[in-house]
Structure 1
Amino acid sequence: MVVLNDKLIFPPVETATPEGIIAIGGDLSTERLLLAYRSGIFPWYSEGEPIVWWCPDPRFVLFPEKLRVTKSMQSVLNNGTFRFTINRAFTKVLQNCKTITRKEQEGTWITPAIEHAYTQLHEQGFAHSAEAWMNGELVGGLYGIRLGNVFFGESMFSKQSNASKFAFINYVRQLQKEKVALIDCQVYTAHLESLGAGMISRNKFLALLADNL
């Protein structure tokens, strides 16, 4: 296992473990995080652990044109229950993603260091949020990194049924208008699979990154 030091470098992704771990250690500086995303790598670890860097094979992604919207969800989009915004409440979205209770998950991977690092990325224009509001209250949303024509999704939350789907669908449609070609969902979830996400090989993912960053 490669242990990173102060040098801004990652080992070749082909050296990843079968689970997709490529290295541990290093830091969460803006420079290292941007290098990681451009290389198809992302951090994912629990508080109290060293930083763990991942590049899994296969990779879970969504092509915006393959977004799947059911009739019932289209009704939710049209009925005015929620209001959609972009980058209006990044900090609140991040905090909700950190604190929301999730089934079969203890604790959170959004450590104080992660929270600080991605807030910095937002302030520098790299990290973005999409929000769903209900009666003036933030009830759902997501955040991630935008580089070139790729969006790297990080986390989402929902306090009302369909709120995160509402935010996600609206944001994907906006990204498609902006010519985003690929949304990185990182690892499998049934929630995102229901919206059209699927697996591709790591090699194909890296080739798509090269074409769209």
Structure 2
Amino acid sequence: MSQILWLEDTNFQFPNVSTALDEPDGLLAASERITPELVIEAYKRGIFPWYSADQPVLWWSPNPRCVLYPEKFHISRSFRRSLNSKAFKIKTNTAFREVMLACAAPRTETGKTEEAGTWITQAMLDVYCLLHEAGVAHSIECWFNDKLVGGMYGLVLGDIFFGESMFSKMKDASKFAMFHLCTEIKPFLVDAQVHSRHLETLGAEVIDRQDFVDIIKIHTDYHLNL
């Protein structure tokens, strides 16, 4: 691995995202600790933390960046049938910690729980819960018969929703949460971080990293009600 910046050596000043590695894509810096202040500063620069419990805190800014413009949210035929069934109730910010814990539960690509590791460490859980208490981190929850069955969480800076993770315990539950975000809350942009086929089916696309950073600079001055 090529040399990356250790943030403790720079008084926690993030380097320009243009210096991020090409392989692994977007790895920019590392640090010994993670704090609410560091997370906010990172997101303002198009950077996010992603690491395992046995690693230092790793900070990333991949190129290209996966994003979803709410007006481009794709409703498939099968999901439209789910919407018409109105089986779920959507709530916001009533079970933030529970949403994070559900997202942290190890899963395979099919969603089934397994014993593999998770990137949502205890330190990240603590920091993001503090950000939630400060009104910066938010959860969108999908409930069925008074049980939390799906949802997502992320940060809101300006009118951009920086998505972190989502989960489903019932078919389409996380899609309902994303649909609510895109059609009811209506941020200017949803940051999806890294491309996946699943996100693509929802209407996500990739844009150049610098274009993403330029959008952040403009839209962090706006306000989103959540």
Fold match (TM-score > 0.5): yes
AA of the residue aligned to 2:207: I
The answer to whether the aligner puts 1:85 opposite 2:88 as a matched pair is no
* 1:72 CA drift (Å): 2.3
Separation in 2 of the partners of 1:100 and 1:160? 16
Bigger shift: 91-100 or 108-117?
Answer: 91-100
Looking at structure 2, the residues matched to 181 and 43 of structure 1 have their Cα atoms a distance apart, in angstroms, of 22
Instruction: Name stretches of at least 5 consecutive residues in structure 1 with no aligned partner.
Output: none
Q: Secondary structure at the match of 1:108?
A: coil
Q: Which deviations, in whole Å up to 9, do the C-alpha atoms of 1:56-95 show, x marking residues without a partner? A: 1000000111111123212212312111111111111001
**1:201 equivalent in structure 2:** 208
Q: Does 1:115 align with 2:125?
A: yes
Alignment-mate amino acid for residue 43 of structure 1: P
| Alpha-carbon displacement from aligned partner over 1:164-188 (angstroms, at most 9, x marks no partner) | 1111111221221xxx211100001
Deviations 1:130-166 (A, max 9, x none): 0111111110000000000111000000001111111
- Contact 1:89–1:131 (CA under 8 A) maintained in structure 2: yes
Q: Report how many residues are paired.
A: 210
Q: SS state of the match for residue 101, structure 1?
A: coil
Identity of aligned residues (%): 43
Query: 1:60–1:197: 8 Å Cα contact kept in structure 2?
Result: yes
Equivalent position to 2:69, from 63, 66, 82 = 63
Please give the TM-score of this superposition, normalised by the length of structure 2.
0.89
- Tell me which moved more, 140-149 or 2-11: 2-11
- Measure, in 2, the Cα distance between the counterparts of 1:189 and 1:76: 22
Map of 1:10 onto structure 2: 14
| Residue identity matched to 2:18 | E
Structure 2: runs of 5+ lacking an equivalent: 221-226
Equivalent positions of 1:49-60 (< 5 A) are 49-60=55-66
Greater mean alpha carbon deviation, residues 58-67 or residues 104-113: 104-113
Structure 1 residues 117, 108: closer, same or farther in 2, change over 3 A? same
Q: 1:102, CA displacement in angstroms?
A: 2.4
Aligned to 1:25: 31
| Partner residue of 1:142 out of 136, 140, 152 | 152
1:142–1:157 CA contact under 8 A, matched in 2: yes
